[in-house]
Copies of this chain bind each other. A is one copy, B any other.
């Protein structure tokens, strides 16, 4: 039950009914393919005639296509329908502190090409490099005509409407308009989103399981701790685009110093830096202070490797992270009551070591039995969730519910 915003609404036109039903058909095909017209009519409780005419539009438009005829126990055989995703392409860009990744993929998220280069921190130079590389990738793969957009994922706060990066401490950017610059360069629509929210989009649109209702939180444990919140199938962006910052929920006012200035933030317990600092027995140090590299070369992957090879102190450091992870997740689960929580980031490489500990922490903090039982699902490593999210940025608008009322 939504209240209509009388300052920003969309009234229904003559074609609104068709737009709605067309999107529903498209999504039904997407999730149930192969599927026949008659099947769609049954699922939608609508006449087959209407389905015929909608399907015809979608075929002309090129979003779905007819495949082989299926089999029926009796009667005429159905012609099966499929969503066209293989030759609809998108460029996904993931700008990270160390490297920038560019992937060419289709609308289903299948990787076609992938390259990376050392991140250039000057926005103008970075855009130049990006435009050049994107053009080359498209040309190499004969995809110049078939690419429908570029998805840009950035660490930091983003305003997707204006396309500006409002603030990215990692890149030392403030109010940088990178989207329009790239769009001008490549001549394609460009979409931009911050990293955790993009991961959440990837999970929603390209994730394995079809989640009824799509109520979940995607938590990324990396240099920082961020999250993307999806409620009722909608990404929650907040009033000024900064929702999901659970990283600085306080766990202990006397806890370790956090880079944000406060003490005992969740991030100060669970970020990769926090885990490493705990292992080294020292305080957290800012990752980047005027482009200076972090003072230790020990990575979280190294630490996990040490833990696996029997380093007790490494095991203890990682287990402690697991415990605080669980406690923090408890807070999230109590606050938002999602149907599940996804966890991404390098720490998932040690999931078998910490899963029980995470669940124990969650149990301690969860208020209801339902909340305590919330599935915590680690993202499989090497799946490039940010890049998949960038692809989803391009693909999702073609499948989302039309805005109405």
Question: Could you say which residues of chain B place their CB within 8 Å of the CB of A397?
Answer: 1
Q: A17-B14, A212-B5, A245-B334 are in contact. Are A339 and B32 (CB under 8 A)?
A: no
Question: Could you say which residues of chain B place their CB within 8 Å of the CB of A334?
Answer: 242, 245-249
**Chain A residues numbered 224-256 whose CB sits less than 8 Å from any CB in chain B:** 229, 231-254
Provide the bound-state CA to CA distance between A250 and B330, in Å: 9
The stretch that binds B, out of A19-27, A179-187, A274-282, is: A19-27
In the complex, the answer to whether B16 meets A12 with C-beta atoms within 8 Å is: yes
In the complex, the answer to whether A13 meets B4 with C-beta atoms within 8 Å is: no
Which secondary structure characterizes the binding site on chain A?
loop
In the complex, the answer to whether A400 meets B338 with C-beta atoms within 8 Å is: no
The stretch that binds B, out of A128-136, A144-152, A366-374, is: A366-374
Question: Could you say which residues of chain B place their CB within 8 Å of the CB of A236?
Answer: 231-232, 336
Q: How far is the CB of A46 from chain B (nearest CB, A)?
A: 6
Interface residues on A, range: 35 or more
Question: Could you say which residues of chain B place their CB within 8 Å of the CB of A2?
Answer: 232-234, 400-401
Question: Could you say which residues of chain B place their CB within 8 Å of the CB of A24?
Answer: 4, 6, 9, 11, 405
Pick the most buried of A27, A157, A234, A404: most chain B CB atoms within 10 A of its CB: A404
Provide the bound-state CA to CA distance between A363 and B350, in Å: 36
In the complex, the answer to whether B1 meets A241 with C-beta atoms within 8 Å is: no
Question: Could you say which residues of chain B place their CB within 8 Å of the CB of A283?
Answer: none
Nearest B residue (CB) for A260: B367
In the assembled complex, 5 residue pairs joining A and B whose CB atoms fall closer than 8 Å, in A order, are A2-B233, A9-B24, A231-B231, A232-B236, A248-B367
